[in-house]
Amino acid sequence: MFYNNKLTINFFKYRRKINESLFAILNHQRWSCSQTQSDAKTKNSVLKVLFFGTDAFSLPSLQALHNNYYDPTGINALGVVTSFKNPANCVRNYAEQKGLILHRWPVTPEACEGYDLGVVVSFGHLIPEKIIKAFPSGMINVHASLLPRWRGAAPIIYAIMHGDKQTGVSIMKIEPKHFDVGDILAQREVAIRDDILMPELHTQLAQEGADLLVNTLQHFPNSVKTAVKQNNELATFAPKIIPSITKVNWTEIKAEQLYRRFRALFGFKHLNTRFQDKNVQLIDIQLPESQIIPAFLANKSCGAFLYDRHRRCLLVRCSGLTLIEVHQLRVEGKKAMTAVEFNNGFIKQSNSSSKELLFTSK
């Protein structure tokens, strides 16, 4: 077979030009698509976030940020700072599972380089000024109260314990040398049910805080612009819980106050009293429907109790002629028991020996 060399050369030149043109068109389209996505992301958020957290309240916020990282309109980078002391640290475990950049606390300003903003959620450490200043946009905190009410380490516990009808979450700027005093970027209210236990409210506020955090970051420039200073005159404080708060002084506490304290500490610490020189943990207590004092307890001391066969509980007299029901308890050296079991094992024995049925604080 014979070929026309001139025609063959021209054909390959022509095909090469077509391929170059097609490549240019496709490359332009790819660049345009990528640029459009980049522009959309830049328009909504250019934040590179370094997250500081340690516990179960922190985790939903980290998860929300991580999910937001994969959103085209979300944050641009995400790293994590946490403590390595506790091997069960859920924040550390999540970061390792998801392959996030992980830093051990304490960190240096150099570890913060490349990030725009620090986000702190239930971290438990005062952040040094040099770390705060290492972020171009500073640092913000998710706090489990409606600041300035309940500044401090235990806002959920204090809100329940003091009978607040509502609490919430606050997003605030972090200031050097002090906890929970910065300007408020956003807040969200949450109602407190009369029977809610601390773990349920803790979970609810953690989720609300995570949602509010993402919303705040999506509108971050405007959130900073409209931030409101806290009124220090309205501040109340929620310091770390100390062991003495678990001790029941029956002569000073009314039943409703005791029930609020029980709900506030539930899942964290047990209320403690004493019976016949033994420590007793109150595992399950309730407010009775009626506060009418039985005749047997009317002239007894605060802390006196009887077994109510109808309700299958202990009725204990509190301050102010009020009553609390004890349904489950644990006597020192024994397993947890119901009021029925306590009646069979302790009350009947005390009745036979004429010992007074009395819970004491000492």
- All structural domains of the chain, each given as residue ranges with its CATH number in brackets, are 45-234 (3.40.50.170), 243-352 (3.10.25.10)
Which residues 6+ apart lie within 8 Å of 338 measured at CB?
A: 312, 327, 328
Report the alpha-carbon distance of residue 118 to residue 139 in Å, rounded. Answer: 4
Rounded to 5°, angle at Cα 168 from 112 and 263:
110
**Rg, the chain, Cα only:** 31
Which residues 6+ apart lie within 8 Å of 52 measured at CB?
A: 80, 81, 82, 105, 118, 119, 120, 121, 123, 125, 127, 139
* Full pLDDT tens readout for the chain, 362 residues: 333 444 444 444 444 454 445 444 444 443 344 344 434 343 445 799 999 999 999 999 999 999 998 887 789 999 999 999 988 999 999 999 999 999 999 999 999 999 999 999 999 999 999 999 999 999 999 999 999 999 999 999 999 999 999 999 999 999 999 999 999 999 999 999 999 999 999 999 999 999 999 999 999 999 999 999 999 999 999 999 999 999 999 999 999 999 999 999 999 999 999 999 999 999 999 999 999 999 999 999 999 999 999 999 999 999 999 999 999 999 999 999 999 999 999 988 776 555 679 999 98
Global pTM value: 0.86
Question: Are the C-beta atoms of residues 116 and 137 closer than 8 Å to each other?
Answer: yes
